[in-house]
Amino acid sequence: PAWYGPDGGVYVGRNEAEAQAKAGPGVKLVQDEDVLDTWFSSALWPFSTLGWPENTRELEKYYPTDTLVTGFDIIFFWVARMLMMGLHFMGEVPFRNVYMHGLVRDERGQKMSKSKGNVVDPIGLIEQYGADALRYSVAAAAGPGRDAKLGPKIVEANRGFVTKIWNAARFCEMNGCKPDPAFDPVRAKLALNRWILDAANRAVAEAGASLDAYRVDDYAKSAYQFVWGDFCDWFLEFAKPAFGDETLAPETRAVAAHVLGILLRLLHPVMPFVTEALWDHFGYGPAGSLIRADWPALVAVHAAEAARAEVSWVIELISGVRTVRSEMNVPPSIKSPILLKDAAPESLARAQTWFEAISRMARASEIGPLEGDVPRNAAQAVLREATIILPLEGIIDLAAERKRLEAARAKAAAELAKVEQKLANAEFVQRAPEAVIAENEDRRKNFADEVARLDAALRRIE
Closest CA to 229 of 312, 157, 139, 325: 312
**pTM (2 d.p.):** 0.80
> pLDDT grade, residue 163 (50/70/90)?
very high
Q: What structural domains does the chain harbor? A: 2-31 (no CATH), 34-101 (no CATH), 134-302 (1.10.730.10), 305-391 (3.30.2320), 398-460 (1.10.287)
> pLDDT grade, residue 103 (50/70/90)?
confident
For the ranges 181-185, 347-351, 438-442, 458-462, the lowest mean pLDDT is seen at 458-462
Angle subtended by helix axes 122-129 and 131-140, to nearest 10: 120
> With 90 as the cut, is the pLDDT of residue 444 above it?
yes
> With 70 as the cut, is the pLDDT of residue 35 above it?
no
Residue 119 CB burial class (10 angstroms; 0-12, 13-18, ≥19): exposed
User: Rounded CA gap, 260 and 227, in Å?
Assistant: 9
> With 90 as the cut, is the pLDDT of residue 148 above it?
no
How many helical (H) and strand (E) elements, i.e. helices and strands, does the chain have? Answer: 19, 11
Looking at residues 165-192, what average pLDDT do you find? Answer: 96
DSSP class per residue in 265-306:
HHHTTT-HHHHHHHHHHHTSSSTT-GGGSPPPPP---TTHHH
For the ranges 80-89, 209-218, 284-293, the lowest mean pLDDT is seen at 284-293
Structure confidence at residue 433 (pLDDT): 85
The rounded mean pLDDT for the chain is 92
What are 353-366's pLDDT values in tens digits?
Answer: 999 999 999 999 99
User: Rounded CA gap, 445 and 433, in Å?
Assistant: 19
User: Rounded CA gap, 309 and 303, in Å?
Assistant: 10
> pLDDT grade, residue 68 (50/70/90)?
very high
User: Rounded CA gap, 41 and 359, in Å?
Assistant: 67
Contact of 194 with 188, CB cutoff 8 Å: yes
User: Rounded CA gap, 143 and 133, in Å?
Assistant: 17
Q: Report CA-CA distances (Å) from 381 to 109, 388, 458.
A: 39, 5, 12
- Residue 192 identity: L
Structure confidence at residue 424 (pLDDT): 92
> With 90 as the cut, is the pLDDT of residue 462 above it?
no
Structure confidence at residue 150 (pLDDT): 87
